[in-house]
Amino acid sequence: MALSEFNLIDRYFTRQIKQNNTVLGVGDDCALLTLEAGMQLAVTIDTLVENIHFFTDVTAETLGYKSLAVSLSDLAAMGAEPRNATLALTIPDVDEEWLQGFSDGFFELADQYHLDLIGGDTTRGPRSITIQAQGVVPHNQALLRSAAQIGDLIYVTGFIGDAGLALKAHLGVAQCNNFNILNRLHKPEPRVDAGLAIRNIANACVDISDGLAADLSHILHASQVGAVIDLAKLPLSEPVRHYQHQTSQPGFALTTGDDYELCFTVPSSREQDIELLSRDWSYQCTCIGRVDDSGSLTVLNNGQHFEITGNSYQHFS
């Protein structure tokens, strides 16, 4: 017998509350939260639609994990500490195996951050997942896109282009059987620790969801500045380096999305601080260029101006 909506919510989406600020979680008309004095609430929402944001063949577990990961990446990019999330789930039918997988993937990541799922909505229809996540950040310490300053150094965490290569491999148009690379598409690790650590050092920050060139340009536009970055300095994994070389696409990693690394700008006087901090991270942190007053992004390849080709994904264009 099919599970009722309420049994479903109870079985797969109701867990013990972990956060002190969660007064009331799943089960009432609203959840209730308290906010400590001196803190601001950072709120983000994202929707993943089947066949647009994910393939039909992706596992439920991957989907549960990734749909929360993209929201935590937004919180990381603001320097916010994850606290709670709500989940609006639309599914074509009650498939308990799928629900179990989705719930396992979701809570695998949620538990890493002691994040509470505090409510949501469950409806029947074409599969789609909307997650709203909330985090906290001390007053006026959030990392805004609009705060980059001329002269700032530009950093990127981890490697870029891995998820892009994994996507090509998934579509059968590139060869890659490196598990770590393939996993970067399905199980991105939101850089929450980096976002928190750079809060008092970085000026501006963005997470790389659409591609480095596009996302860095959001910072430049919002801050009314420009920048120069050097292709040779981009942090690339060996498989991506190889792919770029083999396909003569030196700028591949600039325009591929889904990496969920952070790109941030730092006053040059704080270079040492970033160097020291990033030693504690399990991924690298690389300076790729500098903010200037040019008003746009310039990419250099061996000292020559490099034309960016390949567009980041946009829904309504």
Q: Which residues would be at the binding site for ligand ADP (CB under 6 A)? A: 9, 13, 26-29, 87, 89, 117, 119-122
Give the span between the Cα atoms of 129 and 245, in whole angstroms: 37
- Sole window of 120-128, 166-174, 179-187, 255-263 interacting with Mg ion (rule: CB under 5 A): 120-128
Q: Which is nearer to ligand ADP, 128 or 223 (CB)?
A: 128
Q: Which is nearer to Mg ion, 121 or 293 (CB)?
A: 121
Give the span between the Cα atoms of 184 and 166, in whole angstroms: 7
Draw the binding track, 75-114, toward Mg ion (x: CB under 5 A; -: no contact).
Answer: ----------------------------------------
Supply 173's token pair.
Answer: 């148009």
Residue whose CB is nearest to Mg ion in the complex, by number: 121
Q: Which is nearer to Mg ion, 9 or 185 (CB)?
A: 9
Q: Which is nearer to ligand ADP, 27 or 126 (CB)?
A: 27
**Candidate list 111, 121, 275, 293; residue touching Mg ion; CB under 5 A:** 121
Minimum distance between the CB of residue 101 and ligand ADP, rounded to whole angstroms? Answer: 14
26 binds, among ligand ADP, Mg ion, none (CB under 5 to 8 A by kind): ligand ADP
Instruction: Give 2-5's long-range contacts (Cβ < 8 A, gap of 24+).
Output: 2/93, 2/94, 3/94, 3/96, 5/122
Q: By the 8 A CB rule, do 89 and 121 touch?
A: yes
Minimum distance between the CB of residue 9 and Mg ion, rounded to whole angstroms? Answer: 10
Minimum distance between the CB of residue 124 and Mg ion, rounded to whole angstroms? Answer: 13
Q: Which is nearer to ligand ADP, 11 or 245 (CB)?
A: 11
Minimum distance between the CB of residue 137 and ligand ADP, rounded to whole angstroms? Answer: 24
Q: Which is nearer to ligand ADP, 96 or 121 (CB)?
A: 121
117 binds, among ligand ADP, Mg ion, none (CB under 5 to 8 A by kind): ligand ADP
- Continuous segment of H or E residues that includes residue 13: helix 5-13
Burial class (CB in 10 A: 0-12, 13-18, 19+), 193: middle
Q: Which is nearer to ligand ADP, 13 or 155 (CB)?
A: 13
Minimum distance between the CB of residue 122 and ligand ADP, rounded to whole angstroms? Answer: 4
CB atoms within 10 A of CB 36: 9
Burial class (CB in 10 A: 0-12, 13-18, 19+), 316: exposed
Q: By the 8 A CB rule, do 153 and 265 touch?
A: yes
89 binds, among ligand ADP, Mg ion, none (CB under 5 to 8 A by kind): ligand ADP
CB atoms within 10 A of CB 205: 27
In the three-class reduction of DSSP (H, G, I as helix; E, B as strand; rest coil), residue 215 is classed as helix
Q: Identify which of 11, 2, 54 has the alpha carbon closest to the alpha carbon of residue 188.
A: 54
Residues contributing to the site for Mg ion (CB under 5 A): 121
